[in-house]
Amino acid sequence: MSYAAAETAPVAAGHYQATEVTKTFGSVSVLRGVSLTLRPGRIHTMMGENGAGKSTLFKILSGLLRPTTGELRLDGAPVAFSAPHDAHQRGIYLVPQEPALMPELTVAETMFVGQLPTRAGFPRRVDWPGLRRQAQQALSSLGLAIDVGQLARHLSIAQQQQVECAKALLRGCRIILFDEPTSPLTSHEVERLFGIMRRLRDDGCTLGFISHRMDEVLDISDDISVLRDGALVDTVDRSGFDRVRLLSQMVGREMRVIPRRTASFSTGRPMLQVEGLAHAPRFHDVGFTLHEGEVLGLAGLVGAGRTEIAETIFGIRTPDAGHVRLGGDEITGLAPHAIIRRGLVYVPEDRARHGAILPMTITENITSGLLDRLRQRFGLIDRNDEDRTGAAIVTQYRVRCAGIDQPLRQLSGGNQQKVVFGKWMGLQPRVAILDEPTRGVDVGAKDEIYELIEELAKAGLAILVISSEMEELVRLCDRVLSIYEGRIVAEIEGADITPARVGQSYLSRDGLAA
Amino acid sequence: MTTLPLPAAGVPEREMSAAAPRRSRREVREITLIVATALTIVTVGLFNHGFMSTQNLRFMLLNSVVLSLVALGQTLVIATRGIDLSVAPVMGLTAVVTGLLAQSSGLPLVGAVGIAIVLGLLLGTLNGLLVARLAIPPIITTLGTYSLYSGLVFVYSNGTQVDSVPRAYATLGNGFVAPFIPVPIAVVVLAVALLLVWFMLNHTRFGRAILAVGNNDAAAYNAGIGVTGVKVRVYALSGLLAAIAGLMFVCYTGSATVTTGTGDHVELQSIAVALIGGTAIAGGRGNVVGTVLGSLFLSVILTALVFIHVPPIWYSAGEGLMILVTVTAGMRQNRGGAN
């Protein structure tokens, strides 16, 4: 197969239709009967909260996953793919958010992987000059100036996405799906990508797009479909675009959230003061004060820079600029262990990787962070004291378990999280940063964790909560800061903390002003 | 495809920057190795003129042939992000089987070549199937087959060993192409193998698929590359090259025992020279010319140890030290080229 194959590839009219597509993983249902049609010359955007099923849908459309039930039709004829390669041959290409790189190959070669052009004759050899020429032309036709002779590892993510677009065209693909391409990009890079997308659309390609950012979605889309909990809520075209309505469709379910009775802490004793903190390119000029007994929320999209802010405060990352003070003392640039000793703890999002040691027992997990505080005899840890400490925390944090010697992995997600909390709170910190404190915790246990957080706050702990769930922020926080592309764009206080306001506040760089 | 023609009208835009790194790293590596080898030869030669004699140079070249052949296969395996520890016993088994048959029943050389090819492909394919089909990690797979194949050498030899080989074998191992052309036949064998493997890796679809798999096997699969088939064939090739190396070994030395290959840790040497030659242990990058230059460099260093009167008990430690230094220096060179 030589490059000529690309020219004989189906010049599809490009109507790509999904009918009643469902997808289940084990017992978890991710897509529930989604039906929609992508049309040539249009950019069709999927919107929805995290976990709504947008990416899964695109993976099914592009052959990475197979639907559990339902049907795909390309220009009226049913199609089924066993691998992405099959989808490419039918003219469908997925541009992932962070394209799978072949770092040690040249850009030109990566564009032709799997179908290198060869020269006739024996032995059949790769046509390197032809390959480079075609690769360079494909990029030029999109207005891109990327040296195809350099190694792919030197490309930025934006360039990788651009190369993927050219790759789709080289493979004769006219249905191109973009899975949340803009979240790792700067605004300048987004404009460039949109330029390419418009060019492809005007040329009659069928484009699919996923994004959380309301501004850019309204800017570039011709059609918008809203997904919620794996089901299609609505599809509207440009005439039906309405920011507020889309938002309420995304959030959807009745908000039966009882907000915390909030208090104003601006006159209270400041515990954590952050000033002009920056870590390019992830966040810039972040400043806030967290007071004793206050629960402050950080709202934002995944990738907005919230975790990076927390990691910088905690000393995992070194800031480019700015100051962090803990109870008045400068802690900027200290290492995490020094910061912990001064009374600030960070409970990270990925419990299994950073917080919990699953094969070890509950007690061992709890005491692993405070071994030097246990009573010792001749330099050896007093096991009785260790057990007492473990038992005390299990009781205080209402961990449901068979006994304190049970391995942590046997507990449910919620109880594991309580143990992790107990471990950190055993250090008696003054400030705690909780990153997605209820990730992987079932609904019933969530409430218990919320109650624990409230009790800790009542006892005077200053708490910074990072959460992607609006209900959680509404339920817990006295104050919410909204982060968009690494900047604080809104501050919401007291009674203003409602799902709608919080949800709207971090979707654009204008915060609530828009 | 109507208004978006490919190829597009107009000249490709100017390249981003003249300084954009190209594929020059390889050439840099090869030049470094050639210079290092030459410097070693000249430096040691200044103190001991015998080191620079034609005879010794030829000896060092000949001495690197066996390792080079093994390491060519190893390079391909590492390029797929794998590793093949079983090359040492595959080499040893082939040496013992062909050598004993030649010694006891006068097996003609053609037959020995046939046996080497079959044996190498067979043992290599078994590795490949375990790695690619059963998805056992390469280091575990080949650690297992290392023991298995070593065991077969004991079973087959049953306490006997090869002490001498027929004339045809010895000629293949030590003879010249022609009396008036003082080029060893073994070096020609290596040159042909290098040319074939180099061409395959750099100019055929299969070769490029090896590198694609090593870069990112999931992405390679998504692009329509038969990843399983590529891996099986690469391990088969590694077995084949190790078996040919075994045959060349018995022809060159006229002897083979149960510790041939494994005793010298050929598996580790072959990995080391591949890395010295610029192949990435993380896969995706393979430099076969560098591999051969690397094993030549190793051969020169080992011979130099003899010439500068290092006590023999230090050879192994010296070899290890030199491998550590070179691999580390090579990795620094790569990192320098990365940005």
The nearest CA of chain A is from the CA of B30 a distance in Å of 18
Cα-flanking dihedrals φ and ψ of residue A432, to 5°? -130, 135
The nearest CA of chain A is from the CA of B1 a distance in Å of 7
Which residues of chain B are within 8 Å of residue A7 when distances are taken between CB atoms?
Answer: 1
User: Which of the listed residues A226, A251, A276 is the one where a domain comes to its end?
Assistant: A251
Q: Does B49 touch chain A (CB under 8 A)?
A: no
Residue B122: the pLDDT is 97
Domain count, chain A: 3
B210 is written with which tokens?
């090896």
Are A431 and A423 a contacting pair, CB within 8 Å?
no
CA atoms within 13 A on the CB side of A27: 0
B265 is written with which tokens?
């840790």
CATH (domain of B251): 1.10.3470
Which among A3, A14, A17, A224 is positioned nearest to A131, based on CA atoms? A3
Residues A311 and A374 occupy one common structural domain: no
The span from the CA of B290 to the CA of B272, in Å, is 12
Q: Does the residue A256 lie in any domain?
A: no
Other Cβ atoms closer than 10 A to B158: 8
CA atoms within 13 A on the CB side of A333: 5
At A374-403, the pLDDT tens digits run: 777 777 888 888 888 888 888 888 888 888
The span from the CA of B125 to the CA of B93, in Å, is 16
Which residues of chain A are within 8 Å of residue B230 when distances are taken between CB atoms?
Answer: none
pLDDT exceeding 90 applies to what percent of chain A? 36
Decide: residue A268, CB within 10 A, 0-12 exposed, 13-18 middle, 19+ buried.
Answer: middle
Q: Does the residue B21 lie in any domain?
A: no
Pairing of the two strands A125-126 and A42-47: unpaired
At A295-314, the pLDDT tens digits run: 999 998 877 889 899 999 99
The span from the CA of B336 to the CA of B238, in Å, is 31
Q: Does the residue B30 lie in any domain?
A: no
Nearest CA in chain B to A103: B215
Residues A487 and A393 occupy one common structural domain: no
Residues A198 and A126 occupy one common structural domain: yes
The span from the CA of B77 to the CA of B80, in Å, is 5
Domain count, chain B: 1
Rg (CA), chain B: 21
A198 is written with which tokens?
């418009």
**Which range is least confidently modeled, A145-149, A441-445, B242-246?**
A441-445
Instruction: Give me the domain span that covers residue B269.
Output: 51-323
Give just the sign of the alpha carbon dihedral A55, A60, A66, A71: positive
How much is the ipTM here?
0.82
To probe the interface with B, which of A106, A124, A147 has the most B CB atoms within 10 Å?
A: A147
Whether A137 and B6 lie within 8 Å, measured CB to CB: yes
User: Which of the listed residues A427, A448, A473 is the one where a domain comes to its end?
Assistant: A427
Residues A114 and A164 occupy one common structural domain: yes
Whether A100 and B280 lie within 8 Å, measured CB to CB: no
Per residue of chain B (339 residues), give pLDDT as tens. 334 444 333 333 333 333 334 445 567 888 989 999 999 999 999 988 889 898 899 889 998 999 999 999 999 999 999 999 999 999 999 999 999 999 999 999 999 999 999 999 999 999 999 999 999 999 999 999 999 999 999 999 988 999 999 999 999 999 998 888 888 999 999 999 999 999 999 999 999 999 999 999 999 998 889 999 999 999 999 999 999 999 999 999 999 999 999 988 899 999 999 998 988 888 889 999 999 999 999 999 989 988 988 888 888 888 888 888 888 877 776 654 433
The span from the CA of B33 to the CA of B290, in Å, is 8
Residues A272 and A228 occupy one common structural domain: no
User: Which of the listed residues A251, A269, A297 is the one where a domain comes to its end?
Assistant: A251
- If DSSP codes are grouped into helix, strand and coil, which group holds residue A487? strand
The span from the CA of A497 to the CA of A260, in Å, is 10
CA atoms within 13 A on the CB side of A440: 13
Which residues of chain A are within 8 Å of residue B212 when distances are taken between CB atoms?
Answer: 102, 105, 113-114
- If DSSP codes are grouped into helix, strand and coil, which group holds residue B221? helix
Q: Does B22 touch chain A (CB under 8 A)?
A: yes
Q: Does the residue B200 lie in any domain?
A: yes
Cα-flanking dihedrals φ and ψ of residue A83, to 5°? -160, 160
Length of chain B: 339
CATH (domain of A15): 3.40.50.300
The span from the CA of A148 to the CA of A170, in Å, is 14
Are A36 and A225 a contacting pair, CB within 8 Å?
yes
Residues A242 and A266 occupy one common structural domain: no
Residues A421 and A488 occupy one common structural domain: no
Residues A365 and A499 occupy one common structural domain: no
**Which of the listed ranges A12-16, A212-216, A504-508, B204-208 does the model predict with the highest average pLDDT?**
B204-208
Whether B6 and A105 lie within 8 Å, measured CB to CB: no
Residues A489 and A401 occupy one common structural domain: no
Residues A385 and A419 occupy one common structural domain: yes
At A336-355, the pLDDT tens digits run: 889 998 999 998 877 766 67
Q: Choose among A113, A139, A147: nearest Cβ to B220.
A: A113
The span from the CA of A307 to the CA of A55, in Å, is 22
Nearest CA in chain B to A205: B1
The nearest CA of chain A is from the CA of B222 a distance in Å of 5
Residue A494: the pLDDT is 82
* DSSP secondary structure code for residue B256 in this structure: B
The mean pLDDT of A160-181, rounded to a whole number, is 90
Quote the mean pLDDT of chain B: 88
A85 is written with which tokens?
């390669």
The mean pLDDT of A283-287, rounded to a whole number, is 93
Q: Does the residue A508 lie in any domain?
A: yes
The nearest CA of chain B is from the CA of A64 a distance in Å of 8
The span from the CA of A257 to the CA of A152, in Å, is 48
Largest CA distance in chain B: 76
Q: Does the residue B161 lie in any domain?
A: yes
Instruction: Give me the domain span that covers residue A208.
Output: 4-251
The nearest CA of chain B is from the CA of A183 a distance in Å of 22
Q: Does the residue B229 lie in any domain?
A: yes
Helix extents (H) in A252-402: 306-313, 336-341, 362-367, 383-396
Q: Does the residue B34 lie in any domain?
A: no
Are A299 and A504 a contacting pair, CB within 8 Å?
no
Residues A49 and A91 occupy one common structural domain: yes
Q: Does the residue B240 lie in any domain?
A: yes
Which among A441, A363, A440 is positioned nearest to A406, based on CA atoms? A363
Give just the sign of the alpha carbon dihedral A303, A306, A312, A318: positive
What global pTM score does this model have? 0.75
Which residues of chain B are within 8 Å of residue A125 when distances are taken between CB atoms?
Answer: 199, 203-204
Residue B337: the pLDDT is 43
CB pairs under 8 A between A and B: 129
Quote the mean pLDDT of chain A: 85
A140 is written with which tokens?
């030029």
Q: Does the residue A89 lie in any domain?
A: yes
Q: Please, which pLDDT band fits residue A260 given cuts at 50, 70 and 90? A: low
Q: Choose among A83, A104, A172: nearest Cβ to B221.
A: A83
Whether B215 and A102 lie within 8 Å, measured CB to CB: yes
Which residues of chain A are within 8 Å of residue B280 when distances are taken between CB atoms?
Answer: 104
Residue A266: the pLDDT is 63
Residues A244 and A271 occupy one common structural domain: no
The span from the CA of A174 to the CA of A9, in Å, is 10
Which among A40, A41, A22 is positioned nearest to A32, based on CA atoms? A22
Which among A165, A143, A146, A33 is positioned nearest to A95, based on CA atoms? A165
Q: Does the residue B20 lie in any domain?
A: no
At A30-62, the pLDDT tens digits run: 889 999 999 999 999 998 876 688 888 999 999
A351 is written with which tokens?
């419990």
Whether B3 and A203 lie within 8 Å, measured CB to CB: yes
Q: Please, which pLDDT band fits residue A259 given cuts at 50, 70 and 90? A: low
Whether B20 and A147 lie within 8 Å, measured CB to CB: yes
Residue A258: the pLDDT is 60
Residue A257: the pLDDT is 54
Are A142 and A166 a contacting pair, CB within 8 Å?
yes
